[in-house]
């Protein structure tokens, strides 16, 4: 049984969490993976939590989940992304390129993930570093089963993006890592303050993006239009909402949390 997802719909999978369908999918993917992991992937091969993330991201399509898991485990080994910490990422985290404010939910109850690429210093960070940073922020969200089941709504604020951010090789590296590797369900991608640079770059990158995901892109012409997707009380003040959020405080709290877990 595979969940029927039309191109423009991200089905809410919460009713299927810990269900017989999920158990059946887990068993099928285990059979596809086999009992003997490839060399170097042993630590990932038997991680049931990791496997469930991939199964839920694939809407219980066992064959697809099998491929997602293999690609993701290989990427994790190559990048060491699971060893990343808030302390080690303190400076890029504080830059606020990626944010996921608690309480910022869309009208379907999905977590909103904010992107501000204009804050990215491309001379300071390599594409692989940005991909690992985004992975770190996304994996925090995926600690919650409901996020695994519902997916995320992305708000991509393009204000301030200029030609200094136009590096096709850089963009391809990040897009391929995020869209082809991470076990993330994309519910919506709201494009806010769209720029000429994006309009120029998108046709060059669109072939890397699956049609189903492209169909979930929404060009939002004004801040008022964002309210069609996110209610004011759940939207950051900077976009016309009433939700207050201190990202620097969140980073400090995350560092303290991880330090306490390590003790």
Q: Tell me the C-alpha distance between 106 and 128, whole Å.
A: 29
**Element spanning 154, H or E:** strand 152-157
DSSP state of 212: H
Specify the pLDDT at position 247: 97
DSSP state of 220: E
Specify the pLDDT at position 122: 82
Q: Tell me the C-alpha distance between 55 and 37, whole Å.
A: 18
The more confidently predicted of residues 170 and 224 is 224
Q: Tell me the C-alpha distance between 146 and 70, whole Å.
A: 23
Helix (H, G, I), strand (E, B) or coil at 19: coil
pLDDT surpassing 60 at residue 145: yes
Average pLDDT over residues 228-236: 97
Specify the pLDDT at position 206: 77
CB contact set of 48 (below 8 Å; sequence gap of 6+): 26
Is the CA virtual torsion 180, 247, 87, 53 positive or negative? negative
103: region left, alpha or beta (phi > 0 left; psi from -120 to 50 alpha): left
Average pLDDT, the chain: 88
Specify the pLDDT at position 174: 80
The percentage of residues in the chain with a pLDDT greater than 90, rounded to a whole number, is 57
Specify the pLDDT at position 4: 52
With beta carbons less than 8 A apart as the criterion, state whether 58 and 69 touch: no
DSSP state of 12: -
Specify the pLDDT at position 180: 75
- Residues 98-126: pLDDT tens digits? 999 999 999 999 999 999 988 988 888 88
With beta carbons less than 8 A apart as the criterion, state whether 241 and 232 touch: yes
- Residues 158-206: pLDDT tens digits? 998 877 777 777 877 887 778 778 999 999 999 999 877 777 777 777 7
Average pLDDT over residues 32-37: 90
pLDDT surpassing 50 at residue 74: yes
Q: Tell me the C-alpha distance between 108 and 22, whole Å.
A: 23
pLDDT surpassing 80 at residue 149: yes
Helix (H, G, I), strand (E, B) or coil at 95: coil
With beta carbons less than 8 A apart as the criterion, state whether 105 and 73 touch: no
With beta carbons less than 8 A apart as the criterion, state whether 74 and 37 touch: no
Specify the pLDDT at position 236: 97
pLDDT surpassing 90 at residue 154: yes
Point out the least confidently predicted range of 16-25, 130-139, 188-197: 188-197
**What is the value of pTM for the model shown?**
0.90
Specify the pLDDT at position 3: 54
CA distances from 183 to 56, 61, 76 (A): 8, 13, 12
Under the banding of pLDDT at 50, 70 and 90, the label for residue 1 is: very low
Tally Cβ neighbours within 10 Å of residue 214.
14
CB contact set of 206 (below 8 Å; sequence gap of 6+): 214
Average pLDDT over residues 50-74: 93
């Amino acid at each position: 049984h595979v969940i029927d997802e039309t191109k423009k719909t991200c089905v809410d999978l919460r009713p299927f969490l810990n269900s017989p369908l999920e158990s059946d999918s887990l068993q099928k993917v285990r059979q596809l993976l086999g009992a003997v992991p490839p060399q170097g992937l042993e630590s990932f091969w038997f991680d049931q939590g990791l496997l469930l993330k991939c199964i839920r991201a694939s809407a219980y399509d066992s064959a697809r989940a099998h491929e997602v898991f293999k690609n993701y485990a290989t990427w994790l080994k190559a990048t060491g992304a699971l060893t990343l910490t808030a302390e080690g990422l303190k400076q890029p985290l504080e830059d606020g390129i990626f944010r996921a404010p608690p309480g910022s939910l869309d009208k379907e109850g999905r977590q909103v993930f904010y992107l501000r690429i204009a804050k990215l210093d491309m001379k300071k960070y390599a594409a692989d570093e940005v991909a690992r940073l985004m992975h770190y922020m996304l994996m925090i969200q995926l600690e919650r089963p409901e996020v695994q089941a519902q997916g995320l709504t992305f708000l991509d604020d393009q204000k301030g993006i200029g030609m200094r951010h136009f590096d096709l090789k850089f963009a391809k590296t990040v897009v391929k890592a995020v869209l082809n590797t991470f076990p993330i369900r994309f519910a919506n991608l709201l494009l806010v303050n769209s720029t000429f640079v994006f309009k120029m770059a998108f046709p060059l990158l669109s072939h890397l993006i699956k049609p189903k995901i492209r169909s979930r892109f929404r060009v939002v012409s004004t801040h008022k239009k964002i309210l069609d997707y996110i209610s004011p009380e759940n939207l950051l003040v900077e976009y016309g909402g009433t939700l207050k959020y201190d990202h620097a405080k969140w980073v400090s709290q995350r560092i303290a949390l991880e330090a306490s877990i390590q003790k």
